[in-house]
Amino acid sequence: MQIGNYKITTIESGMFKLDGGAMFGVIPKVLWNKTNPADENNQIDMGLRTLLLESDKRKILIDTGIGHKFDDKKEKMFGIDHTKFAIDSQLAKHGISTDDITDVFLTHLHFDHAGGNTYLDQGEIKATFKNAVYHVDKFHFEWAIKPSRRDRASFLKENFDVLIKNGQLNLFDGGHQKQLFKNTEIIKVHGHTPHQCLLKIMDDKNTVLFCADLIPTASHVPLPYIMGYDLNPLQTLSEKEIILEEAFEKNWILFYEHDPKIEASTIIKTQRNDFKSDKIIQFS
Ligand SMILES: [Zn+2]
């Protein structure tokens, strides 16, 4: 797909698993288990999908997946699977090396979004994209280095410390600076984690919204389907209402970072004044 100057390509960076109950909050298992079947540990399959925007001048990657730095115990706990997909091999399929990436836009710093920022090279942590500027909202960054006891397991310093040391981190103010790149716009949301930044990519014809953890899978489009992980679920609810209403009216394409199968779709409004995923879209 082409939007404005950008060629848009889905880059699958791997698969992992999370607890199905935690992923669907107050929704009963009898409902979510139909679309997202749980395994013997009650875990469901999750994608780790990133998006590549290529123009003449830039190669921008949105989020970096979970990465390869976990030990065997953690890899097993999260069912991390890179047998089919890894970020470097998937980029290589499109003729791109990690060194070609000019910008990494991070929606937030949870380990399943920022884990691929860095890698282990003989015990030393290095930047995966050594020529890139990594962009993170400065207020989110402040939260990430001083999280609460409820969410501190989600923020791992090894995913961003070396970027600070290298001078590769650009801390922007997403509340005021809405446009880091041409044909894009930052939408800030706070229900999942403070100052999460979604990225809208648009031209006259099409709009794609990188939903990150506001709407992690196509199953999370309906309004009450909100993750138990969210710090402020009622805020997520009102953020979803506003964004989904506009997405429906303007026929946006929603991109789902964690859906195990559906990378993107449009949405429709239901008779109950709610929303659901409609036409499946594939970028690659
Ligand atoms: Zn998250």
CA 271 / ligand 1 centre spacing (Å): 30
CA 135 / ligand 1 centre spacing (Å): 16
Q: Tokens representing 103?
A: 């910008």
Q: Is the pLDDT of residue 61 over 90?
A: yes
CA 155 / ligand 1 centre spacing (Å): 10
CATH classification of 2-203 is 3.60.15.10, yes or no? yes
Mean pLDDT of all residues in 153-181:
96
Q: Which residue has the tokens 């303007």?
A: 250
CA 130 / ligand 1 centre spacing (Å): 24
Q: What is the 3-state secondary structure (H, E, C) of the chain?
A: CEECCEEEEEEEEEEEEEEHHHHHCCCCHHHHHHHCCCCCCCEEEEEEEEEEEECCCCEEEECCCCCCCCCHHHHHHCCCECCCCCHHHHHHHCCCCHHHCCEEECCCCCHHHHHHHEEEECCEEEECCCCCEEEEEHHHHHHHHCCCCCCHHHCCHHHCHHHHHHCCEEEECCCCCCCCCCCEEEEEECCCCCCEEEEEEECCCCEEEECCCCCCCHHHCCCCCCCCCCCCHHHHHHHHHHHHHHHHHCCCEEECCCCCCCCEEEEEECCCCCEEEEEEECCC
CA 229 / ligand 1 centre spacing (Å): 8
β-bridge pairing 207-210 and 253-255 = parallel
For the question of whether the overall pTM of this predicted structure is more than 0.85, the answer is yes
CA 169 / ligand 1 centre spacing (Å): 19
Query: What digits encode the pLDDT tens for the residues 4-57?
Result: 999 999 999 999 999 999 999 999 999 999 999 999 999 999 999 999 999 999
CA 83 / ligand 1 centre spacing (Å): 23
β-bridge pairing 264-269 and 275-281 = antiparallel
CA 56 / ligand 1 centre spacing (Å): 31
CA 110 / ligand 1 centre spacing (Å): 5
Query: What digits encode the pLDDT tens for the residues 193-247?
Result: 999 999 999 999 999 999 999 999 999 999 999 999 999 999 999 999 999 999 9
CA 205 / ligand 1 centre spacing (Å): 30
CA 195 / ligand 1 centre spacing (Å): 11
Are 60 and 103 in contact by the 8 Å Cβ rule? The answer is yes
Q: Tokens representing 236?
A: 């997520």
CA 108 / ligand 1 centre spacing (Å): 7
Q: Is the pLDDT of residue 283 over 90?
A: no
Distances (CA, A) of 9 to 1, 12, 72, 216, 250: 7, 10, 31, 18, 22
